[in-house]
Amino acid sequence: MNKIMLLTSAALLTLGAAGSAMAEGGVAAGATTGAVGGAIVGGPVGAVVGGVGGAIVGGIADDNRPRFREYVVKEGRPSYRYQEEVRVGATLPSSGVTYYDVPREYGSTEYRYTRVNDRTVLVDPRTHRIIQVIE
C-alpha cells in the first residue's frame, strides 16, 4: 500500500511540474512532453527518463552547452543589440537579426542560434521567440 502511495505521489508531482513547465516552451516543452509520455508508459521512473530525453530534443543539452559556447565564440558571429531583457519567451524583431543553424554534433534541433547583447540564444525561426539562453 505504501509503495502505491509513493508511486502515485511521485507521478502527480512529476505531472504537476511538467504542466507548469509547458509555458516555457523549447527545452521545457520537450522535457514536459517526454515526462508525460514516460509517465504514461513507465510510471514515475519513465517520467524522469522521458523528461531528460525530451529536454535534449528541445534545445542544447546541459552537457553540450560548454562545447557549444566555445563553438559560437570561435565562429565570431556579431551580436545583435536588443533593448529588452534577453530571456526565454522574449520575441526578437523580424528583421535585423541573423540566425544560424546549430551543428548536429550539439544535438538535433529545429531551432537556430544567434547572439543577442553578447549572449548566445536559441530561437524558434518561425516566431523569433527565444527558447533557450545558453549560459
Q: How far apart are the first and last CA of the chain?
A: 44
Strands (E), the chain: 79-80, 100-101, 112-116, 119-123, 130-134
pLDDT in tens, the chain (135 residues): 555 544 444 444 444 444 444 334 445 555 555 655 555 666 666 655 555 444 435 799 999 999 999 999 999 999 999 999 999 999 999 899 999 999 999 988 899 999 999 999 999 999 999 999 998
pLDDT value, residue 121: 97
pTM: 0.59
What is the enclosing helix (H) or strand (E) of 81? none
The grid coordinates of residue 87 equal: 530571456
Provide the CA 64 distance to its chain's centre, in angstroms. Answer: 12
In this prediction, residue 62 carries a pLDDT of 92
